[in-house]
Structures are given as structure tokens and as C-alpha cells.
């Protein structure tokens, strides 16, 4: 994945590794078109059906809007109207977060 500055990044477990019982990690996603890039981060939480031996998967929780680029120009999040921030947050429902 690439962040808003164009730097490559990867997810980092919050502690240890998943196979050692860690249940949270950082996840990242990007929604993009030819002119717009929206960057998100989230906490990845390992979940299951609550039954011994059930499969596990990672769900994105606590999504954060990390940055927005329009034609390569970064929009300052602090000055962005709340309605626009909400519209960008809605895009997080359309992306697949990666571990």
C-alpha cells in the first residue's frame, strides 16, 4: 500500500503476531479514481463465530480518515467541512482493508 505521501507502508501488529494470540493489528485501505485518492486506517480485530475450532478472520474497526489527495494535492483534514469528511468516511464501506 502507499500512503498519502506516496510512501509504501504495511500493517504492523499491535503486539506479537496473530499466530501468538494477538487479536488486533493496524489495517490500511485506499479508495481511488484517476483524480481522487482517499486513505484510511483501521484497527484489525480477529474475530470468529465463538465456537471452538471455528474459522477466524480479521474485521476492520475504528476506521480513521488518514488523508485525501485531489489531483495529487493534499486536502487539509482539519479545515475540511464535516459533511465532506462524512462523505469520505462513507467511502470506507467500499474498500477492502489489508492487514
DSSP of 23-71: -EEEEEEEEE-SSEEEEEEEEEEEEE-SSTT--EEEEEEEEEEEEEEET
* Torsion angles phi and psi, residue 64, rounded to 5: -125, 135
Question: Residue 23's pLDDT is what?
Answer: 64
Question: Residue 34's pLDDT is what?
Answer: 95
Q: Alpha carbon of 25 to those of 3, 18, 34, 35, 96: distances in Å? A: 17, 9, 30, 30, 15
- Rounded CA gap, 35 and 69, in Å? 8
Q: Are the C-beta atoms of residues 11 and 25 closer than 8 Å to each other? A: yes
Q: Which three cell numbers stand for residue 85?
A: 469528511
Question: Residue 36's pLDDT is what?
Answer: 96
Query: What is the chain's pLDDT, residue by residue, as a tens digit (99 residues)?
Result: 444 444 433 433 333 334 445 567 899 999 999 999 999 999 998 888 888 888 988 888 999 999 999 999 999 999 999 999 999 999 999 999 987
Question: Residue 43's pLDDT is what?
Answer: 93
Question: Residue 21's pLDDT is what?
Answer: 53
Amino acid at each position: 500500500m502507499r500512503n498519502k505521501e506516496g510512501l509504501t507502508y504495511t500493517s504492523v501488529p499491535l503486539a506479537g503476531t496473530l499466530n501468538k494470540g494477538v487479536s488486533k493489528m493496524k489495517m490500511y485501505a485506499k479508495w481511488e479514481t484517476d483524480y481522487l485518492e482517499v486513505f484510511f486506517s483501521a484497527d484489525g480485530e480477529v474475530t470468529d463465530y465463538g465456537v471452538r475450532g471455528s474459522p477466524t478472520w480479521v474485521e476492520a474497526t475504528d476506521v480513521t480518515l488518514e488523508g485525501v489527495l485531489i489531483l495529487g494535492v493534499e486536502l487539509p483534514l482539519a479545515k475540511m467541512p464535516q459533511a465532506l469528511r462524512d462523505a469520505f468516511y462513507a467511502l470506507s464501506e467500499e474498500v477492502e482493508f489489508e492487514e
